[in-house]
Amino acid sequence: MFNRDEWILEQQNPMISIKKWQTTVDLIANLYESPIVHILQCTGRGYQVVVGSNTPTNPFRAGHHFPPDSRLFSARVISRGAPLYVNHAASMAEWRENPVVREHRINSFLAVPIYWPDGVSFGTICVLDFAVTHYSRTYQDLLLQFRDLVEGDLLLNNQFLQLLELSTRDELTRLFNRRGFFAEADKHVRLAQRLQQSVGIMYLDLDHLKQLNDDYGHRLGDKAIAALGTAIRNVMRDSDVAGRIGGDEFVVVLMTPDEQSLPKMAARVRAELKQLCQGELADLTLSVSIGYRLFPVTEISVIDRMVSLVDERMYEDKNNHQQQLDAR
């Protein structure tokens, strides 16, 4: 998912058109006859230029970074949540330590804040000049209209991610559904290959779900499935990928160099599931069959193939459970 505390330039944002933003700042530069226009993003890591005007005198291109403690004009805009116009910074003591004034001889600054759809600050859109300027109120209001175009893209991106969340998440367990799991797991596996890391895969199947549905009804069966999903969520790390890929079938993918981490995780899932047998599930003895395997870098293949191999191990575990029951 999209992380607001990371740079936009480092993430995939289907509904944010950097090309359109570039066209916007270039148009502003022409209208305002300004040598420097940029859209600046603010995160916990500081400030970064997302797009900068293609004017030859612009020293702030896309990717230019300012530390979090920089005494920027934009920091004032963001903290106050209001536009700022300074037309002669060199004559004002409060701005003499501003890095763009001190190092780049910027004299004029006009900016408005940009917000995410929920009102959280994104950053600013700025017009800078080396000369003293005299922008009318109309020019200041016009920049607000350009700001609205940028915020419109942020809103579209937010709506897209919400729809993506709905289409890739399992409603019952809140884990990835089959579609979402294989898409994310494929990314996880490719990342492991780049990092030369082993991949662990765990395949889980709730035992005797059909009998549970027949004896107690599908509502209780759904509660049992949800309990297993919760057990998996409670055990997995933030970096792991887990999904419900069938009615009572779940898969977890993780990067780990330790083969013993897989049986340990399986034991923890079983312990968590036992703890979750409360309320309507209190009289039931839920169990889960689990297959797992560590794939060294040299054995990593496509995610579908690896999941199929681990699925076979899960069935071995399920058969062992059944043999133990039959022997009693």
pLDDT in tens, 230-256: 999 999 998 999 999 999 999 999 998
Please tell me the predicted confidence (pLDDT) of residue 203.
97
Q: Domain containing 18: what range? A: 8-167
Q: Tell me the mean pLDDT in the region 173-180.
A: 94
Query: Is there a domain that residue 57 lies in?
Result: yes
Please tell me the predicted confidence (pLDDT) of residue 13.
66
List CB contacts of 64: < 8 A, sequence separation 6 or more.
48, 49, 52
- Helix and strand numbers (H, E) in the chain are 9, 10
pLDDT above 60 (res 139): yes
Indicate the helix (H) or strand (E) that contains 188: helix 178-195
Please tell me the predicted confidence (pLDDT) of residue 324.
66
Q: Tell me the mean pLDDT in the region 300-325.
A: 88
Query: Is there a domain that residue 172 lies in?
Result: no
On whether the CB atoms of residues 84 and 73 are closer than 8 A, the answer is yes
Q: At what angle do helices 178-195 and 303-327 cross, to 10 degrees?
A: 110
Query: Is there a domain that residue 204 lies in?
Result: yes
What is the β-pairing status of strands 121-129 and 46-52? unpaired
The total number of structural domains in the chain stands at 2
Please tell me the predicted confidence (pLDDT) of residue 323.
67
Q: What is the DSSP string of 111-155?
A: EEEEE-TTS-EEEEEEEEESS-----HHHHHHHHHHHHHHHHHHH
Domain boundary among 122, 145, 167: 167
1-10, 101-110, 134-143, 281-290 — which is least confidently predicted?
Answer: 1-10
6-20, 111-125, 176-190 — which is least confidently predicted?
Answer: 6-20
Q: Are residues 14 and 105 in the same domain?
A: yes
Structure tokens at 61: 């291109």
Q: How confident is the model at residue 67 (pLDDT cuts 50, 70, 90)?
A: very high
Q: Are residues 136 and 270 in the same domain?
A: no
Q: Are residues 222 and 306 in the same domain?
A: yes
For residue 285, the domain's CATH number is 3.30.70.270
The type of residue at 325 is L
Taken in order 146, 111, 89, 102, is the CA torsion positive or negative? negative
> For residues 265 and 146, what is the distance between their CA atoms, to the nearest angstrom?
52
For residue 18, the domain's CATH number is 3.30.450.40
Percent over 70 (pLDDT), the chain: 96
Task: Check residues 285 and 47 and name the one with the higher pLDDT.
Answer: 47
Query: Is there a domain that residue 66 lies in?
Result: yes
Identify the DSSP state of 282.
T
pLDDT in tens, 14-23: 667 888 899 9
pLDDT in tens, 165-176: 788 999 899 999
Q: Are residues 159 and 212 in the same domain?
A: no
Q: Are residues 16 and 145 in the same domain?
A: yes
Q: Are residues 267 and 208 in the same domain?
A: yes
Q: Are residues 277 and 209 in the same domain?
A: yes
Task: Name the nearest CA neighbour of 316 among 296, 297, 290, 295.
Answer: 290
Query: Is there a domain that residue 311 lies in?
Result: yes
Please tell me the predicted confidence (pLDDT) of residue 163.
81
